[in-house]
Structure 1
Amino acid sequence: MAPAITLAAEAPKLSSANTGFMLIASALVLIMTPGLAFFYGGMVRVKSTLNMLMMSFISMGIVTILWVLYGFSLAFGTNNGLIGWDSNWFGLSKIGLTELWPGYTIPIFVFMVFQMMFAIITPALISGALADRVKFSAWALFVALWLTVVYVPVAHWVWGADGWAFKLGVIDFAGGTAVHINAGAGALGVILVIGKRVGFKKDPMRPHSLPLVMLGAGLLWFGWFGFNAGSWLGNDDGVGALMFVNTQVATGAAMLAWLAYEKIRHGAFTTLGAASGAVAGLVAITPSGGAVSPLGAIAVGAIAGVACAAAVGLKYKFGYDDSLDVVGVHMVGGIIGSLLIGFFATGKGQSTATGVFYGDHSFTQLWKQCAGVGAVLAYSLIASAVLAFLLDKTIGMRVTEDEEISGIDQAEHAETAYDFSGAGGGIAGSAASVLAATESKKVDA
């Protein structure tokens, strides 16, 4: 999201083409959150499906309101290198309809809503690490606090015009640090506080609906083109097109690499592996896709696919219960994608910065990437753990053990995802009737 450089005599004018494109891109990013809900919802057991869906959906409500009230102003207002502020943006009260985002040809309202969609999905990503065991009310409060204390400052560091990481020259095209490392490190901080699920490493906790996982992965892949290509905020110089191409290329490479790894390691090509590999590739290319070539995107995707596939098993080795592999995919994938810029940046995309393989033998860009990655990882991990600790010691973060065992859907939402009783007839009712008739014949015989 580098700012455009224009001469005073060439003040930008509102572009209906770029504005329309960005509104579509914003809608694409929004659909990623329901896609994430389906992706996570299919990966949990039946008794946690609705809770997993709701943990993503509630972010769409909470973050929307807070972003309008103060989130956008704090993240993108000009103040200092650590946090922003613009009183004219508080509640979006003093923004003109055609007032342009500085240096661009789109209205401030369009930029605001595009960034809102990023802010919505980032805390939702954390929810996958906490499956089966968190009170819904505590989660909702955590989302509000985390957005304010963690996401907003980090977004300012990375994308704000006076953010320290932005001014340092850290490259993050669409959210490798601000979104994925931020969410992955935040997830790790929370699970270290709240502990493991009942039965972790003892009971089988297999996905209940792999078709739902694949549907979610497909929606994420589709929406990610808006997430990535839209982050250039226009279509005037081809960089957004490069990002679009690299998004597809890296995702395909990562999916193939993950499948190859699990075939060698575990002896099978799994649908869960295909979906997870695709997401790993999407994560890794998010920060780097505007800086690398399509061949570089293949390398980024392949490296991320193998590394993330290996990383998901670390939770068993180190004993932290990352339910749906948020740490292994988002944190690790974000780190890989961000650091590989320091090797594969060509200097012919979003900026003239080059990587080690393209002449930067002093490792200048790599060190900048390390600084950004390290700062976001440390801050998000610590701040998220502190927030979880405070909530756990006040209102309590976890449901009771009995509620976790019996099912968090019924305990927190008074609903279940699937009704197998046959009360409503249809397929379920017919199946139940056939089963009952069969059992009756056996008794009579």
Structure 2
Amino acid sequence: MEKSVEKRWIAAFIITAAIAITGLFWEHAHIFDRSNEFNSTDTIIPADVAWLLTASCLVLLMTPGLSFFYGGMVGKKNVISTMLKSFICLGVISLLWVTVGFSLSFGDSVGLTINGVKYGLVGNPADFAFFDYVDEHPHSKMASTIPFILFALFQMKFAVITPAIITGALAERIRFISFLLFICLFSIFIYAPLCHMVWHPNGLLGAYFGVKDFAGGTVVHMSAGFAAIAGVLCLGKRKNLEYIPTNIPFVLLGTGMLWFGWFGFNAGSALAANHTAAMAFATTTIASASAMLTWVFFDRLNGRKVSALGACIGAVVGLVAITPAAGFVSIPKSMFFGFIAAIVSNAMLNWKSLKKIDDTLDVFACHGVGGIMGMILTAIFAEVEGGSLLHGGWNIFAHHMMALVLVAAFSFFGAMLLYKVTNLIIPLRVSEEAEKMGLDLSQHNEMLG
């Protein structure tokens, strides 16, 4: 057993080394001539650059924030392993994004040709491999007022946090190296196609069907939520379902970091220092405030104590729900988003049938359901070109509902397949003895003092 484990880690090291070395030879490869797609640096607006640099830092902060948020909720024997699984995404997904992830997400569309126009399912993996052509020049169609490298790095932070969200559902029983393999597969085969279809100028869902997702309700939260529930079904329940959250102050700290970082997540998605960013900033905090209060009051109405844990979960649900509509709705509507999403997510979190499958930290009830509610409410209330349900956009509403089903099915069944593939290569679940010992010691030989 030890020899087989050793071989896996040798393989992981060799892959990392190969990526690092290949990058040296790939630099300025310019396989395709793309020079006509870029503007002169004269078109750069310094205020936009300053804001996107700041927003990128804020979004990066969300991943360590998520690690504290999750780490405080698990049992004492699994705090470090849970936090590391979120934190390690900063390394794994960043390298994957530079190598091929950005190309798959924002390269030239590969997909369907409709009425003479190509609408993408995924990007060409060779277009921006190793960040070829990704430099200080702005792209003419994607963020034309900031350097393309800044756009790529801002988007990278979204790619990093998406698989990190999944970790909460699988906590306390998934093998670390199996998790690393799965998040690579997830990022390539689920996240990147969804990112392309929704956010690329020629993406099938965004450009052809008119699906609106301002900052990631479908691309990030729905994909992570449905991948989480698929993982729970593949892994099975923990042996010990009863546990006491180790450190509630960690959860409070993590929530604060997430809330703070979410301003970059949502307001940064305007890709400029403008009025849309200001409105997204405002709707983000108001929706979260509304959801936090709704959650604790709804708990009390149902005979449960007002808890710090509940307040934190409520705040995050509000942030999730407003994400797809942050730049498309008014302040009063954002209050309603937080209110409705908190009630629905709270009801799902306490639904006995969902609890039976052992989603450790209720990722699906918070992120999956929050993303679903955000997408539905966006289709009803968004003030966008083409309209929403309340603004005469019946077709747009129908397309959103169709996309909701497609994204849910693609994320769930796609992730299910990837878990099974991962399990064939490296068993997903730790041994019963390792689980009993706790993953901090059994996987990392570390423990909370």
Q: Name the TM tier (shorter chain).
A: 0.7 to 0.9
> Counterpart of 1:82 in 2: which secondary structure?
strand
Is 2:257 aligned against 1:225? no
- The equivalences for 1:138-157 within 5 A come to 138-157=178-197
- The reply on whether 1:63 has 2:75 as its aligned counterpart is no
Give the secondary-structure state (helix, strand or coil) at the position aligned to 1:279: helix
Alignment correspondent of 1:435: none
Q: Highest CA radius of gyration, 1 or 2?
A: 1
- What CA distance in whole angstroms lies between the structure 1 residues aligned with 2:279 and 2:286? 10
1:199 to partner: Cα distance: 2.5
Partner of 1:16: 46
Which residue of structure 2 lines up, in the alignment, with residue 95 of structure 1? 134
2:123 maps to 1:84: yes
Q: Which of 302, 321, 341 is matched with 1:265 structurally?
A: 302
SS at match of 2:265: helix
Q: 2:228 aligns with which of 173, 177, 187?
A: 187
What is the one-letter code of the residue matched to 2:341? A
- CA deviation profile, 1:39-61 (whole Å, cap 9, x unmatched): 00000000000001110111110
What letter matches 2:133 in structure 1?
Answer: K
Task: State the alpha-carbon separation in 2 of the partners of residues 25 and 101 from structure 1.
Answer: 21
* 8 Å CA contact retained: 1:173, 1:286: yes
Contact 2:348–2:354 under 8 Å retained in 1: no
- Name the residue aligned to 1:123: 163
Checking the alignment, whether the CA contact within 8 Å between 2:100 and 2:125 is kept in structure 1 is: no
**In structure 1, what is the Cα distance between the partners aligned to 2:126 and 2:170?**
36
Contact 2:71 2:251 in 1 (8 A): yes
Which amino acid in structure 1 is aligned with residue 403 of structure 2?
G
- CA-based RMSD: 1.8
The answer to whether the aligner puts 1:352 opposite 2:379 as a matched pair is no
Question: Could you tell which deviates more after superposition, 315-324 or 74-83?
Answer: 315-324
Q: Match of 2:43, SS?
A: coil
Give me the whole-angstrom Cα distance separating, in 2, the residues matched to 1:11 and 1:414. 50
1:209 aligns with 2:247: yes
1:107 match: 147
Q: Which residue of 2 aligns with 1:279?
A: 316
CA distance in 2, matches of 1:42, 1:163: 38
Select the residue among 33, 42, 47 that pairs with 2:77. Answer: 47
Q: Distance in 2 between matches of 1:308 and 1:12?
A: 47
Between the aligned partners of 1:95 and 1:407, the Cα distance in structure 2 is 43
Aligned to 2:104: 74
CA deviation string 1:133-176 (max 9, x = no partner): 01101011111111111111111111111111011110100000
Q: Distance in 2 between matches of 1:126 and 1:69?
A: 22
- Cα distance in structure 2, aligned partners of 1:194 and 1:111: 36
* Contact 2:210/2:399 (<8 A) preserved: yes
Match of 2:273 in 1: 235
Closer, same or farther in 2 for the Cα pair 1:105/1:270, shift >3 Å?
Answer: same
2:234 is the alignment partner of 1:173 = no
- Looking at structure 1, the residues matched to 314 and 195 of structure 2 have their Cα atoms a distance apart, in angstroms, of 26
- The answer as to 2:431 corresponding to 1:400 is yes
Counterpart Cα distance in 2 of 1:247 and 1:316: 31
In 2, are the aligned partners of 1:38 and 1:212 still within 8 Å (CA)? Answer: yes
Q: Secondary structure at the match of 1:266?
A: coil
Which SS does the other structure have where 1:100 is aligned?
coil
Letter in 2 for 1:300: F
Matching residue of 1:424 = none
Tell me how far 1:319 sits from its aligned partner. Answer: 2.2
Q: Distance in 2 between matches of 1:49 and 1:95?
A: 38
Contact 2:197-2:206 within 8 A present in 1 as well: yes
Deviation at 1:317, TM superposition (A): 4.9
Q: CA deviation at 1:315?
A: 5.5
Q: Distance in 2 between matches of 1:87 and 1:99?
A: 19
2:24: which partner in 1? none
Q: CA deviation at 1:318?
A: 6.2
* Map 1:286-435 → 2, pairs under 5 A: 286-314=323-351, 316-317=353-354, 319-345=356-382, 347=383, 351-357=384-390, 359-360=391-392, 363-418=394-449
Per the TM alignment, residue 369 of structure 1 is displaced from its structure 2 partner at its CA by 1.4
What residue number does 2:58 align with?
Answer: 28
Match of 2:204 in 1: 164
* CA 1:115–1:85: 2 relative to 1, 3 Å: same
Instruction: Classify 1:317/1:21 alpha carbon distance in 2 versus 1 (closer, same or farther; 3 Å).
Output: closer
Q: 1:12 to 1:308 in 2, by over 3 A?
A: farther
Report the residue type matching 1:379 in the other structure: F
1:219 is matched by which residue type in structure 2?
M
3-state SS of 2:101 partner: helix
Q: Which amino acid aligns with 2:282?
A: V
2:428 partner SS? coil
Paired with 1:266 and 1:311, the residues of 2 have a C-alpha distance of 16
Counterpart amino acid of residue 159 in structure 1:
W
Q: Residues 130, 86 of structure 1: CA spacing in aligned structure 2 closer, same or farther, 3 A cutoff? A: closer
Deviates more, 1:393-402 or 1:84-93: 84-93
TM-score of the aligned structures, taking structure 1 as reference length: 0.87
Aligned AA for 1:73? S
Unaligned runs of 5+ in 1: 1-8, 419-445
Partner Cα distance (2:224, 2:271) in 1: 23
Which sits farther off after the overlay, 151-160 or 316-325? 316-325
Give the distance between the partners of 1:195 and 1:378, measured in 2 at CA. Answer: 20
CA distance in 1: counterparts of 2:323 and 2:389, whole angstroms: 20
State how far apart, in whole Å, the 2-side matches of 1:131 and 1:232 are: 34
Q: Which residue of 2 aligns with 1:425?
A: none
Amino acid at match of 1:120: V
Identity of aligned residues (%): 39
Give a deviation string over 1:32-83, Cα, whole Å, max 9, x none.
Answer: 0000000000000000000011101111101010100111011011223201
Does structure 1 retain, via aligned residues, the 8 Å contact 2:379–2:388? yes
TM-score, length of structure 2 as denominator length: 0.86
**Kept after mapping to 2: 8 A contact 1:243/1:290:** yes
User: How far has the Cα of 1:88 moved from its partner?
Assistant: 4.4
1: CA distance between counterparts of 2:328 and 2:69?
29
- Confirm or deny: 8 A CA contact 2:70 2:168 kept in the other structure: yes
In structure 2, what residue type is equivalent to 1:181?
M
Structure 2: gaps spanning 5 or more residues: 1-38, 111-119
Q: Is the 8 A contact 2:40 2:138 kept in 1?
A: no
